[in-house]
Structure 1
Amino acid sequence: ADLYTITTDALRQLRTTTFVKTIIHCDEAISTNDHALRIARDDSNLPDLPLIVYTDRQTAGRGRGQNRWWSAAGSLTFSLMIDASAYQLDRSHQPLISLGTGLAVATTLTRFDPSIKPQLKWPNDVHVGGRKIAGILSEVPQNRPHWIVIGVGLNVNNSIQKALCEKTLPLEIADIATALCDESLTPVPLISALATLLDHLHQQWCRLAYDAPGVLSDFRQRCMLTGRLVSLRIGDQVQTGRCLGINEQGAIVLQHDESSTAHFGGIVERVVD
């Protein structure tokens, strides 16, 4: 199996081996989340969900705020569109769905190499050894309040070290990014990484309906912000406080001098031990 690409035939087989019902394969996409959101807006041709938009090359992947996601051959770049009600959830569970997604990525990585110790950076990043290996972006289509689009970028075989040597890597991420192939000696076919991740995503989202405390407990064990001083940008404001952890709704809790506040959104700009 290929380390750098996934064939359309291999993707089609996911309909019988995973929970995905509709598969859209793009050779190139500006943003898989944008593609999925466009599909949600088309009332004339509603797809069977869950739907996956998978691309071999994403040219302008979006992260939170103004962030962009760099991807290259060998990375997994896709968006899943689900009906939250099929998991007995609704849009109020979006923060928990994001946390469950991060947890699924972490368990997928340890499935391929148990020596890897992924950490989760609320609300949407997965780190290994202090470097980012995956990013997640969840969005709700305006006209489909029960649908949720979850974008995932996971560095699998797109070696950061190799890209740095070949000078194809944006310098601003050279010291803050990593890939599975840079952390593990075991090569993982890209289709195996995707199929395993899809299984773990389904498991974690199902768990949220009957064992949300368990999902939160597992997330908290891997949370890299708890106990650290965090600066959180919310719009034009920056809140700084010591992270007390993640509450039952999936919000980050920051301790200030005399009080604590919970935040469901925001961009973590600075972390100090």
Structure 2
Amino acid sequence: MMFTPVSAALVVAVVIQRRRGRALLTELGLTGFSTRRAWRFAGIGIAGAAVLVVGSWGLGLLFGWVELDPERSVAKGLIIRVTGEQPPVPMAALAALQLLNLPIGMAVTAVAAAGEEIGWRGWLLPRLLPLGTPWALIVSGSIWGAWHAPAILLGLNYEQRDLLGVVMMTVACTGAGVLIGWLRLVSGSLLPCVLAHAALNVFATYRSALFPPFDQRLVGPLSITGWMIMILLIAVGAIRVVHAPSRRRDGGEA
């Protein structure tokens, strides 16, 4: 499913718009991957994903909506059900060892994330810019969220198989789309978007090794606590944009 956005974008760009070669790459946003600016904002995107995920868990702990207990975690229960035995090492150690797989997980997940990002931030977002940047970010993010409806109705993320789950995902993707879309616009590259998206997906999987089952509508990067962190990150980005002109006038970096 994650490759359907790029497939649709390719159909439009190649079949309808007759783009080829360099023009096709530009049309899909597949340029500027090797610039220093692209890699700089890729780092910002990965760090932002970590802040979103960890921050959402932190608020869940603060509100008492989740409990940090690797020994009663979802992953430990799965290991016992599959093997019929206790894990060979403490779950806290297994959770720490998962960090060693982070580069591999990021690389594998980035391939699938690119399937979405080429469609949403590479092709769609620039075409919505005539609406104004804020509206382009909001509309592209909301379309991205609504596109998840079939998967949400099958139980993805919230196990809320109804309209409420679709609405929650649309809200979450609108916020995340503003943040990831901002990376696209300020960097001029899709690389930060792909890596931020991949990081978000990979970091979120660590919950299974850290927490017992909890209400995923309340806690998580795409849930209520995540929305709070997104609002904070968007506010920080908005402040940066507001103060950018003054920094340029003063000779500083925007």
Sort the TM-score into its range (normalised by shorter chain). Answer: 0.3 to 0.5
Structure with the higher helix share, 1 or 2: 2
- The TM-score with structure 2 as length reference comes to 0.33
Tell which has more relative contact order, 1 or 2 (C-alpha 8 A, sep 6+): 2
Structure with the higher strand share, 1 or 2: 1
Larger radius of gyration: 2
